[in-house]
Structure 1
């Protein structure tokens, strides 16, 4: 079937005049194209929303409307999923269901780069460093006050013992390398998920009126509720104060620092003595190098997608996308040349897939050539 025939068939489907057989064919074709796009549906509702937007965009294409513009009422991941499929419509429309398009990276040498894994190092208060990758599950350290254990599934657990024999509190540091991810349960029962290239500094047990920790990088907190002892997360330029809630902190300091509330409530305290309260779905952000703190509504599923095992890019620049990718796959990258127009990317992609597969789809979305040599990636406009 040629391009003109498929265009006509899709147009009949959109107009509601396709036969039952033709309707089945178009829906099967759409499903095949979505699977080959590499962008994963989050759930059935997500798929239906994307398909609805895709068909609207197809209708625009058939009517001669070419640009793919952002719809302010829909998250960009919906539009980008549509964009990926529209590339299949406009560029590769002659591929029938079951056929495969060329999905190889322009040039790749060296061993395949694997996705990140459960990896971390734990530095105790006495200076001892424990490489958690090499340790079996079980007790890692035991004192009269605290027991530290490695659990199955990449989790460190602190248990404060009831009989406290010493008032001495020591700082521990959990460091996650590039290409790593880990989870920790603190002595008060708070659970923290740590993304790649992240450091969490915390006491071996909490005493006093506050429960205070520090973060550099990105972490998701599920804070054990205790109204009498607020939990405070310190990041550069601000403190995040809660009593029991769930929130995500991104403090890589590359583009911006952001705190996103999932449920409960938080207070943001800046070094300039500014105070801001957040409601679920709101994000406090501070651009790198600027003192002002802003507030905005966000799609929380996009923000915490890393914790759920996938990338979710929402209207990001190529450099922002590559920063996330480089941390998880532990690669270096450089961009050569400049784009002729401002480009923003979006979409979802499993963090378990190979980096070559992900880079291939970036090549298809953006007018670039990508070359990977071992762990070095060059992107050329």
Structure 2
């Protein structure tokens, strides 16, 4: 198959709204592998490409200094359009030259996060899951802990004393994520800088776990043994549920978003019931529980490999980037007032994400920290 014809066909399908999910994934994969510094174009091709790309992006400028980031698939499709003719990526009205863009690519960059986690057993032993081969990695009580081929951690019963129940903790660092299947079949997704403490088997009248950071749950419902999640003085009780909890220490509010089923959220003497599509918002500074309609796609974007912003301030955007790329961010010249909306894939180097912000005059520099191998993002005027 001719790659050029195939790519143009996919782009045409995207514009027509007939592209399949598999073809969307293919576009995104090509986008993440695209390397602009390896491309060359004549001036005529550049002019044509600028017009084609700008038309495919369909960027919307929002009022009151709000900017819309390039839509995820439109960005991928437009990049593929350039790639299909061996071209270089230019935006209409962009003042960044090819030499400037190439120089930026050659500077320090940061790779995206991935499956990284540490398992702490009941006896305090720490297991770095990155270095473990697939299969049984430990035994706790009457349960075998198994690392599966698709990068998950699962708990399987063993033929030993079923009365023994011990606790494990799974934690992800900045730049990490991990999936977990609990002993009852409940599925758990951990975002970067998050943790969950849980029993290796569920005995008694309930199933209780404790979390930090951001965690998504797909609960196996059992009316005789309710599932409870505890975090920062809150308790969620499941009534057959899928939900997301965002309870990072560096966020001003705690958000619980119900995707399916029903949950009861309790805090102190207050409790509320959430319906699918609703989100509770609480703050440690007061006892109020606010309920509002949620943007499910925004709340669960991280689980699906995306950044999704809706009228987000630059510091809100950068907190997410900081966790995913394991990088500190500073604003020595002040915090820009620009607000962003849009989607971007997470499986990309930091520079590819930051270049999108730079297009809207939020400039940056990635520098090496004085000590160690860590890097830092500086937001500049």
Corresponding residue number in structure 2 for 1:334 = 330
Match of 1:315 among 294, 311, 318: 311
Question: Aligned partners of 1:313, 1:196: CA distance in 2, in Å?
Answer: 17
Give the match for residue 172 of structure 2: 176
Q: 5 Å matches for 1:260-339? A: 260-271=257-268, 273-339=269-335
- Aligned residue in 2 for 1:69: 63
How far did residue 69 of structure 1 move?
Answer: 2.3
Q: What is the match of residue 26 of structure 2?
A: none
TM-aligned CA distance change 1:165 to 1:99, over 3 Å: closer
Shift of 1:81: 4.2
CA–CA distance in structure 2, aligned partners of residues 114 and 34 of structure 1: 30
Matches within 5 A, 1:361-376: 361-365=356-360, 367-374=361-368, 375-376=375-376
The answer on whether the counterparts of 1:336 and 1:378 sit within 8 Å (CA) in structure 2 is yes
Kept in 2: contact 1:148–1:159 (CA 8 A): yes
Contact 2:306–2:343, Cα closer than 8 Å, also in 1 = yes
Q: CA-to-partner distance for each residue in 1:45-65, whole Å, 9 max, x for gaps?
A: xxxxxx5xx6xx6xxxxxxxx
Q: Secondary structure at the match of 2:320?
A: helix
Q: What do residues 14-68 of structure 1 show as CA deviations (whole Å, max 9, x unaligned)?
A: xxxxxxxxxxxxxx97762376x6xxxxxxxxxxxxx5xx6xx6xxxxxxxxx73
Q: Match of 2:331, SS? A: strand
Query: Cα–Cα, structure 1 residues 379 and 226, in superposed 2: closer, same or farther, change >3 Å?
Result: same
Q: How many pairs are equivalent?
A: 305
Q: Which residue of structure 2 aligns with residue 155 of structure 1?
A: 152
Of 325-334 and 279-288, deviating more is 279-288
TM-score (structure 1 length as normaliser)? 0.73
C-alpha spacing 1:106/1:244, structure 2 compared with 1 (3 Å): farther
Q: Distance in 1 between matches of 2:162 and 2:359?
A: 61
Matched, 1:378 2:372: no
Contact 1:363 1:370 in 2 (8 A): yes
Q: CA RMSD in A?
A: 2.8
Q: Secondary structure at the match of 2:265?
A: strand
Could you tell me whether the CA contact under 8 Å between 1:202 and 1:212 is conserved in 2?
yes
Structure-to-structure mapping, 1:1-381, within 5 angstroms: 32-33=53-54, 68-69=62-63, 79-81=68-70, 100-101=89-90, 102=96, 104=101, 111-142=108-139, 145-161=142-158, 165-255=161-251, 256-271=253-268, 273-339=269-335, 342-365=337-360, 367-374=361-368, 375-381=375-381
Distance of 1:172 and 1:205 partners within structure 2: 10
Gaps in structure 1 of 5+ consecutive residues: 1-27, 38-50, 58-66, 71-75, 86-97
Between the aligned partners of 1:34 and 1:326, the Cα distance in structure 2 is 32
Distance 2:255 2:216 in 1: 12
Greater relative contact order (Cα 8 A, min sep 6): structure 1 or 2?
Answer: 1
Q: CA 1:106/1:286 → structure 2, altered by over 3 Å: closer, same or farther?
A: farther
Q: Deviations over 1:187-240 (max 9, x none)?
A: 010000101100111111111111000110111100011111110010102111
TM-score, normalization by structure 2: 0.73
Secondary structure in 1 matching 2:223: coil
Do the aligned residues in 1 keep the contact of 2:315 with 2:335 (CA within 8 Å)? no
Structure 2 CA distance, aligned partners of 1:306 and 1:30? 32
Cα distance between partner residues in 1 of 2:128 and 2:157:
22
Deviation at 1:109, TM superposition (A): 7.4
Q: 1:167 deviation in Å?
A: 2.7
Deviation at 1:318, TM superposition (A): 0.6
SS of the aligned residue for 2:133 comes to: coil
